Structures are given as C-alpha cells and as structure tokens.
Amino acid sequence: MAAFTKKHEVMFSQALFLLVAVLLVEMARSVDMTNFKKCEQSGFCRRNRKIEQGNTPYAADLDSARLENGILHLNVLNTRTGILLKLELYALQNQMVRMKINEVTPLKPRYEVPDVLVGEPPTASWELGERSEMTLEGTSGESSFILTAQPFRLDILYGGQLVTRVNSRGLMNFEHLRTKKVDPPAEDENAGDGEEGEGEEEKEKEKEEPAETDKLEEEDGMWEETFKTHHDSKPNGPSAVAMDFTFPGFEHVYGIPEHADSLALKTTRSGEPYRLYNLDVFEYELDSRMALYGSVPFMLAHNSDRTIGLFWLNAAETWIDITSNTADKGMFGKMMDFVKGDEEVPEMNTHWISESGIIDVFFLMGPKPTDIFRQYASLTGLPYMPPLFAIAYHQCRWNYNDEEDVKTVDEKFDEHDIPYDVIWLDIEHTNGKRYFTWDKHKFPNPIAMQENIASKGRKMVTIIDPHIKQDSGYHMYSEGKDGSYFIRNKDENEFQGWCWPGSSSYPDFTREDVRSWWSSKMSFDNYEGSTSSLFTWNDMNEPSVFNGPEVTMHKDAKHAGGWEHRDVHNLYGIYVHRATAEGQIARTDGRERPFVLSRAFFAGTQRYGAVWTGDNAAEWSHLKASIPMCLSISLAGIPFVGADVGGFFKSPDAELLTRWYQAAAYQPFFRAHAHLDTKRREPWLFPDLNMAAMRSAIRARYALLPFWYTLFYEATQTGVPPMRPMWMEFPEDSKTFAMEDQYMIGSDLLVHPVTDAGATSVNIYLPGPNSTSIVRHTVVRDEARWYRMDTFDKMVGPTDVSIHVSLTTIPVYQRGGSILPTKERIRRCSSLGAGDPYTLRIAVDAQGFAVGNLYKDDGHTFNFQKGQYLYRQFEFKDSKLSSKDLAPNSEFKTSSWIERIVVIGLSESPNHITLTSQGNTQSLEFGFSAQGVLSIRKPAVNIADDFEIALS
C-alpha cells in the first residue's frame, strides 16, 4: 500500500506541475501583445524600414545583359559595398513574369523555397527591344518590361499598360552573407622591431580604404538578438532581402493572410506593417496586422479595369508595409486637390521585407480576377477535391469526455433531427497527450465507437499535433530518436520545447524521410484503434512551443541540410499537413480521399486540405471578423476555410450562437468548436426558437451540398474559390471593392450574415446592371435580378436596401440567370442522401435565361480521376430547360432523379409543360403561384440523362 501511495503521490505531483505550467502558459499567452514582436523589436525589419526612399545604391549592369533560353540574365551592383548580385527575369506562360535576385558568389548557399511550386513554371521567351545607355526593353506576348540601369528599376507592363513598378522608391536591400568582424587586439606600444615606419603605409591604406564588403555600418541585432529572455545567436549574420513594388492606378490591395483585419488591406504609414510569421496566438486581437497561424505571401491589386497579383516566394519571417498616395492624404490635402482640380493617379505602394532567403517574386498579369486564380494555381497547385462529408457540418469540442459522451451527443443530433457528418476529439482522447494513442480508461473501445457512428454514415476526427512527448516508452519518440528525425538546437543537440505533453521534440518535416515515417503512422496497422472512418486534425503546427520566443521555435534551431529554422519557419505547418494527408491516402493504397484540417498554412496548402481561423472568441466582433478573414484566405488560393462556430473562447449567448450558425452555414468549412472551460453549447441546450433556427441553418447547408460540391470541383479545375468577395463577381463596380459584410457563394448566391446583437434589419447592396437599350427596333431591358431564397421576393439592382430580419432568417439572394441544384430531403448525414432526388431551382434573368452546373461522383474515392463522375449543365432559354453533358468522356451511374423544378421570375403561367428524354415525350404536372413561382412536380428524369422540358 505504501508503494502504491508513493507512486500516486509522484503522479499527482507531476500532474499538478503540468497543470500549473499550462495555466501559467495560458495566462501568459492570453492577448499579451508584449509576447509578440513589433517591427522595431525585429532587427531586420527595423533596419529595412528606416531605409530612405530614393537613395538606392543598386545599379544594373546593362553590358552584362544576355538572353539564355529566352531568360534575361544580368548583374546588379551594390555601389556602396561592391557586392554583385545576379538578376534573372523570366517570361512565363499564362501571362506571368518571374524575377529572381541572388548573390553571384555567396559565402554559402542562400535558402530557396522548395516544394511549394508544383514544378518549374513553363517559360516563354523575351525578345529584347530598344536599348540605350540607361534602359533596356523586352517583350513576350502581352507582357513587356523597361529596365532602368541607375538607379536600378524595373517597370512591368501588360498590354502596353504599366501595372507594376519594381524598386521605383529605391527600397531594395539585399544583405549579403559575410564573416563577422572581429575587433583587432590592442596594439602593443612596445611592439615593432626592425626599422621605424616599416608597414605604416599599408596600415594607413587599410584605414583609408576598407574592404568593399565591409562598407556596411554594423547595427545591433545583426549578429545576435534577444527578445525578452530568448537569445538568437544568428550565426550567419544579417541576411535580409527587401524590395518595393508599386501598383499604379490601384487603390485597393488584398490577400497576404492571415490577419484579423479588413478585407481591403489598410495603409501602414502610421502603424505596424503586416507580418507573416506563423504563430500560436491565444485569443487574438481584431483590427490587427500582427502575425497569426498561417502565412501566404500573395497579394492582389484590383481596380475597375483589371486585377493583378504578386507572389513573394519566401518562407522566412516577412513584414509588408502598404502606403497609398490617396488613402494617406489627410482631409485637408484631399480638399485642396478638389479645389485645384488635381486628379492625381492613385497608386498602392508596398514594401516587402524577409529575414533570409533570396528575392523570388512572381507577377501575375490577370487581367480578370478568374485569370489570377488560374495563374496562381499553375504555380502553387490546384485545390484538392474534398470528400463530400468534409463540406457538411462538423461537431467539435475540447473535449468530448469519453465514449459515452460521444454516443450521447451522436444520439441527441438524431433525437432533434439535426444532421451532422463528423464528430471530433481533441487532445484529451489520447494517453497523456501521446498522439496516435487513446486514453484506455475514457476510450477503451475506439474501433467500436467509430463503427457505431460509421453505421449511420458518419465520421470521426482525432487531433494529432507535431510535438512528440519525450518518453522513451512512447513509440513515436523512441522511433524518432533512433532515426534522428527531430530538429536540433544550435548546439546540434535534440531541440526540446514545452507543449501540451510537457517536454517535447519536433520532427523535422522538411525531410522527405521524416514525412514518409510520419505518413506511415497513419496506417491502420500503426495507428492502433483507427478505422477508415477516422480522419485527422493537425493543430499547433506553426510550430507552437510554449516556452519558446513568441510561443514558437528558436530561429537558430537546425534542420536538415544545415538550414536554420528562420529560413523554413513558415513551411513547417504545410509540411505537417502534407505528410498527414499523404499518410491518409497511403493507408487505403490511394483509393480514398483524405481529410486533414490544419491550423498553420502557407502557399500550396490548398493541395492538402482545409484550414480554419484559429482561436477566436464568442463575441459579435469575432463573428463579424470571420467574414473578411475567410475571404482573405480564399483570395490567397486556399478555398477550404472556415471559422469556429460560436467562438472558441468564452460562452456565446443564444442569439450570438444562432447568428453564427446562420453565417457559417454559408462558409466553406462548417464546424462548431469550443474551449475546455466554456459551457456546453450543442444546439438542443438552447431555447426551442434558437435550436430551431440553428437546425434550419444546418439543414440549409445540407440542401445546398450539391451546389457546394460542384463549386469545390470547379475550384479543382480553375483555382477559383467558392467563397468570393463581391468585387470578384462585379469587378467594375467600385462600391464592392472594400465590401466585407456580404459576399458571394459561387456566382449565384449573395449572403449577408447578421453580425450585430439585436438586429432587426440589415443594409445590403444588390449590384448589377440596370439599363435599357434598343436592339433591332426592340426594347431590351438589362437589369440585375435578385430573388430572396426564403420568400422568392424579387429585387432589381443596383440598389441599396434595408432588409428586415428575424431571429430565424438572414438575407440570402439567388442571382437572376442562375440554376441551383439542391437536395431537399432531410437526412441524418450527407452519405445517406447520396441517391436522393434533386430539386432544380431556376431564377431567370430579365431575358428569361438561366444556367447552372452539377458535379457528382461517389463522394469519397479518387475514382473521379479515372473518369467516374458526371458533370452536367442545365440551361433555361426560350422557355425550355435542357441538360447537356459537360464531360462526355466520363461515366457515372446514379439512381438520383429530378424530383422537382422551381422556376422563379416568370411573368405568366405556362399552359402546358412537356418532358422529352430518350425519345419519349410526356406531359408534366405543375403549379403557378401568385408570386410568379412555377413548380414542376416529379419530372422523374435521371439526373445523368439528356432531356428537354418545354413550357408553352
């Protein structure tokens, strides 16, 4: 008994220590901005931000210019230091230009980001044109450039129009690698045998003419830096790169997530730059440019004539300043311009600063928004096709306590007729935060638990974080240690950090062999207790290190190849994500599609799965902020994104939670999640009216799953995200350029969530043309029609309108000219409705026309890549609805048929309706309401068949 007591005393002491440590970490992390750097506290940002405009030392050597395989090569000289750089300018296919700048002879190789590009982008060829002593010109198709020698400047044009200026403000900086200066020893006054004055000339010459590479003023933070108690040894010294890019004619720029800020990026003249550095930020602040969990160095600029993009391929910590010659003017300056009649051409100025690496930047010429996504996807990859269940509703909490809790929650959803597809388990399901394990007391029968929910068509997700508990008895740690798979510290010892399990090691996911090892652990044999219905959540993969600088890894930690963590930091999360997704694919020999949610992300993450906006709070302001945050991530090429429904921290009241469900039902990733210390918040725990509204929102999502699934498929072909800012669909309408309280789902649905407490109305903007013209002696009306989804009410844009809302409704409008495929039958989860019939919802435009697409496959395998899918287009024209095959070389058999067709916006009822399919013609039953809504009942034609339905 004494031994038993002593053992438990030790266990209790360890548990108490860990609990206190975690609580201290939580307290330290909660919204304490002093835990995170500002630019002034980051030496390379401080140095580069204080560079004066127009004082650049860089000059291009036009005599060195040469074309090799259509690529322009030339040297750029730093006239202050004598350091020579090499510039490569590529004309790329798909209307893009690439510029790379590196040292000609660096002391050691500089880091160039691997694995993000899907391959070397195919090149076109420059043709050199006019050349003078100071300028060099070149063209390739619609793209052209003008390169100015001194000071170095590059102007990029498309279609003869200037779209981007490079280094026009002279902020370029390339900190060359060098050896650290060592202070010479004090001279011995008695030293110096031999003749007097011997060697004095040489000494004087050295004083007067220092080596060219030393002509750089040393500053604090170049060779070592301390933030709070954390020391960065910086063995390679200063290595930052910086460049300014100006977008003439533009007043709005977007992208560079992740920030809890506005959709249209703000000027940083009087504040902090935007920061890209993946960090675990506990309950983040809003309206902030501070770094969050993910980083995508991709920016878009848009005006009414064109959209362009800029992709800065660098994985190190990056800061971005934004200024504007119009936005930065005070009210008095704008008034004076108006009085004088000045019309200054607007422009957006950006200044990009990264701590290490090279300058590797892509210019995407557009000119349409959809062109930008096609171009960006050609570089970093098209989004993956998620399984159908992944775009349905997910139920999560830190933590569902045990198997009985999981069973109860699952049954309660059925009891209250609320569909859901996935239930999630957080870190408490493991054996002491040892990932790939189960708590044998709380989850003794994980396979039976999974099989129980799988019997209803549902799935489970468990969390697997990348920090590995340092425990020799834990297979992940012992294998990782034996294989030397872990990141090393600056002294070449195993890096040790503190995270949920306590002392932890971190696999070096930059190594292919480590990723293969990790992937192998996803197999059913290696992941004990896993089944084919179990999927994965990668959290804390920034990486999060509780006792590290800024709650992350030390920058001088070492990865494979001798690279420092500073070089690869923003890649760590995407490598974890990739290895996990590849493991899920391998566990079924490539048959089944993966689902992996990741908190950290980078360019290219879209190839591996979903992301979310992290640790938000149950506040109205966070609900409001979720819209621009999701839109910004979507614009950066990652379409599968969402925010925790209800807010992760704090406990939402019934109204807030209801409104959050209504908003999130129209966002790509739809998951409720909550912190350990919050009240339980499953929908049935709230008043009946609120529960009914939450249920309606979830059911609305399920009804639209065919529409969502089609949009996700189309994203895999074009890169265009399902969730879009208004300006993407209405690129010439300047009223939409800064709009972030409403958005589009595809081209066809306009959504305006209710994000204010107690709201009884919302102001919405319905855009579009409204004009009359005469064509062949006939008056043609071109008006934008919008039909409210719940009432069929028609409105004509462009117009600003105040819409009444109740607790059970939010404004969702179908665009005139569209056809939405839906499924109206209520099922417990998405897979149970696989064979259900469809309803086609047709909203005609002013000419009586509408069109829409439907994609369908088996919902979970990769068989669609073998041509096993259907892709149909429905068109309503001249009072006839027809269906045609958009993928005639594919084949997919389905029992799904068309149950109902709803046509909205007709001026009068038809007298007769006929269906023609497979050579047979039959009459159909229909009804016509006073609102002008035609309902065609049970056409009963298979959704995969060609057909025509005629109204007469």
List residues with catalytic annotation.
539, 615
Reference 495, options 483, 482, 481; nearest CA is: 481
Cβ atoms < 10 Å from Cβ of 115:
15
Cβ atoms < 10 Å from Cβ of 150:
16
Say how far apart CA 388 and CA 869 lie, in whole Å.
Answer: 13
Q: Are 616 and 630 a contacting pair, CB within 8 Å?
A: no
Beta partners for 502? 499
Burial of 432 (0-12, 13-18, 19+ CB in 10 A): middle
Reference 843, options 811, 884, 876, 872; nearest CA is: 876
Amino acid sitting at position 861: T
Say how far apart CA 284 and CA 280 lie, in whole Å.
Answer: 9
Q: Which parts of 471-623 are beta strand (E)?
A: 497-499, 502-505, 534-538, 596-598, 610-612
Q: Are 385 and 716 a contacting pair, CB within 8 Å?
A: yes
Beta partners for 136? 131, 147
Burial of 767 (0-12, 13-18, 19+ CB in 10 A): buried
Provide the 3-class DSSP secondary structure of residue 331.
Answer: helix
Q: Are 141 and 125 a contacting pair, CB within 8 Å?
A: no
Amino acid sitting at position 706: P
- Helix intervals (H) in 139-271: 200-208
Farthest-apart Cα atoms in the chain, separation: 120
- Helix intervals (H) in 455-589: 475-482, 512-520, 565-568, 572-587
Both structure tokens of 560? 């494979």
> Residues with Cβ < 8 Å from 53, sequence gap 6 or more?
169, 170, 171
**What is the CB-side half-sphere exposure of residue 56 using CA atoms within 13 A?**
25
Say how far apart CA 147 and CA 143 lie, in whole Å.
Answer: 13
Give the distance from CA 937 to its chain's centroid: 42
Say how far apart CA 301 and CA 269 lie, in whole Å.
Answer: 18
Reference 301, options 238, 243, 372, 253; nearest CA is: 253
Per-residue CA distances from 263 to 626, 635, 876 (Å) = 10, 10, 36
Say how far apart CA 661 and CA 698 lie, in whole Å.
Answer: 7
Cβ atoms < 10 Å from Cβ of 514:
22
Burial of 310 (0-12, 13-18, 19+ CB in 10 A): buried
Say how far apart CA 454 and CA 461 lie, in whole Å.
Answer: 12
Reference 518, options 617, 593, 436; nearest CA is: 436
Q: Measured on CA atoms in the order 295, 586, 512, 527, is the torsion positive or negative?
A: positive
Reference 651, options 692, 686, 625; nearest CA is: 686
Say how far apart CA 833 and CA 812 lie, in whole Å.
Answer: 24
Q: Are 620 and 655 a contacting pair, CB within 8 Å?
A: no
Beta partners for 839? 822, 900
Q: Are 481 and 494 a contacting pair, CB within 8 Å?
A: yes
Cβ atoms < 10 Å from Cβ of 17:
11
